[in-house]
Amino acid sequence: MKPLAMVGRWVLPSAGIVFGLTALTVGLLNTAAIAPVKAQETLSRVLTVTGEGSESIPATLARVQLGVTAQGEDAETVQQEIARRSSAVIELLRSQPIDKLQTTGIRLNPRYNYDGSRPRIVGYTGSNTVSFQISTDEVGTLLDDAIATGANEISSVSFVAADEALDSARDTALQEATADAQAQADVVLRSLNLSSQEIVSIQVNNAIPPTPIPYAARARQLETAAAVSTPVEGGAQTVNARVTLQIRYRESAV
C-alpha cells in the first residue's frame, strides 16, 4: 500500500504531489526559456541600410565684404579720411539692388617705430568695413564702381544659392537618399529570398547647406580702380543628404 500524505483534512498519495509539482516546474522553465529566444530572434531579423542623395544648384548670390583703409600721421586725419571715403561707398551701395548691408568692422590703430630704446608712434592706420549680398550677375560691376568711389580693400567674396533653392535642393536630396536606402534593402532581401515586413526605424542625417564658395581673388587690397570690368562666376553648390532605415524582414513564402 502507498504511503499517504496528510494535507489539512485531505489525504493524498505523496508521490502524486511530487510528480505534479515537478511537471509544473518543468513547464514553467520551458516557457521562460522560449520567450527570450523568440524575442532575440525578432530583434535580430532587422536589416539596416543607409542611402545617399545629392542635388546641385547654381550659386546665384555673392556675399561681399569690402572697405576703406587709410594711413596718416595723426588719428583725426586718418579718421576723417576714412569717414569721407566710406560715406561715398555706402551711398553707392544703397543705390544698388543689394541685401543685408551692415558695418562689420571699424578700426583705428597706432603705427610704431621700434628703432631706439623705446617704440614711438609715427602714425595711424584705420579702416571701415561693410558687408552685403548681391546677385552674382551684378557683383563684378559693383566691385569696380565701389573701388572707383573710394573702397580700396576687398576682404572676401563668396557665393551661395538662394534660401528657397537650398530648401528645394534639400528636399530633393532627402527623397533621393530615401529611395536609395529602400532600393538597397530590396536587392539584399530579394537575393536572400527574404521579404520586408515593416520599417521599424528611420534616421535622417540633416541635409546641411554647403559651404559658400570663396572667390579666387580673396583678401586682396586695391589702390586704384580696375581698367576693365571684373569677371565673376558664381559656380554651383551641392546639397548632400543621408537616410538610414531599419527594416524588419521574414522568410519569403515558397
Select from 110, 15, 31 the least CA-distant residue to 72.
110
* pLDDT number for residue 237: 86
Q: How far apart are the first and last CA of the chain?
A: 60
pLDDT the model gives residue 253: 65
**Amino acid 110: pLDDT:** 93
- Give the pLDDT confidence score for residue 210 in this predicted structure: 72
Tell me the HSE value of 81 on the side-chain side, using a 13 A CA sphere: 19
The pLDDT value recorded for residue 86 is 94
pLDDT the model gives residue 21: 45
SS3 breakdown of the chain: % helix, strand, coil, rounded to 5? 35, 40, 20
The conformation of residue 215, written as its DSSP 8-state character, comes to: P
Residue in 104, 68, 107 with CA at minimum distance from that of residue 88: 68
- Whether residue 62 contacts residue 135, with contact meaning beta carbons closer than 8 Å, is answered with yes
Q: pLDDT tens-digit profile of 15-39?
A: 444 444 444 444 444 544 444 545 4
CB 202 within 8 A of CB 244: yes
The structure's pTM equals 0.63
Q: Shortest CA distance to 205 belongs to which of 254, 153, 243, 157?
A: 243
Alpha carbon distance 37, 243 (integer Å): 31
Distance of CA 214 to CAs 132, 158, 229, Å?
15, 4, 19
Give the sheet arrangement for strand 194-205, strand by strand: 46-58, 236-251, 194-205
Which pLDDT value is given to residue 229?
Answer: 67
Three cell numbers, residue 164: 528657397
Q: Are 58 and 236 in contact (CB under 8 A)?
A: yes
Low-confidence ranges of the chain (pLDDT < 70): 1-44, 206-209, 215-233, 253-254
**What per-residue confidence (pLDDT) applies to 208?**
66
